[in-house]
Amino acid sequence: MKLIIATHNAHKVEEFRRILSPLGIEVTTAQITEPEETGKTFAENAYIKAKAASDETGLPAVADDSGLSVDALGGEPGVYSARYAEVGKRRATVLAKLADVPEERRGAHFTSAICCVFPDGTAINAEGHTYGKIAHENRGENGFGYDPIFVSEEGAAKGKTFAEATAQEKDSVSHRGRALREFAAKLEEYLRNKE
């Protein structure tokens, strides 16, 4: 099965490919128009992006909307994670706002909402979360986005930022890895029922 990934983020495409390819799902991209993300939740934004990509290409399309929620910031940046500050200053903005926040109050979590929309309008939704805390500085060379400041509290990545963890360590506990595995199971069930 071929799925259009509704993103221009090469890192996200690679994560989708790593997790979905072993299931026989061909992940591809297309030059698509990015719709305005007007949803109030990650799930709403994922649906908006997947629906727009499916409508534009006539193919099944899957989209992810994800972000970081920091407890001490009242859940910010949340759904505004990609638009929280100028490009290149998002992590620095979070670190600056947490400069005087003690270790025990630096809790945070990532959320990933995934939505696949088929040309007939059918939608499959999945969501994943991962928990940790915000580091005091950027650490690690891997990953993207907020990965260098998010310290995992779970599994093989425990104690490491997502930028210090290997791809396999990150995928095993990451919000997107969990959402993609839930999505893959739902997709397999959907395809079985279509036979």
Cα gap 30→117, rounded to integer Å: 15
Report CA dihedral (69, 41, 140, 100) to the nearest 10 degrees: -20
Residue 65 a catalytic site member? yes
Choosing from 64, 65, 147, 171, the catalytic residue is 65
Q: Which long-range contacts (CB under 8 A, 24 or more apart) does 35-44 make?
A: 37/65, 37/79, 39/65, 39/79, 40/79, 41/79, 41/113, 42/66, 42/67, 42/79, 42/111, 42/112, 42/113, 42/127, 43/113, 43/115, 43/125, 43/127
Omega of the bond leading into 77 within 30 degrees of 0 (cis): yes
The catalytic site residues sit at: 65
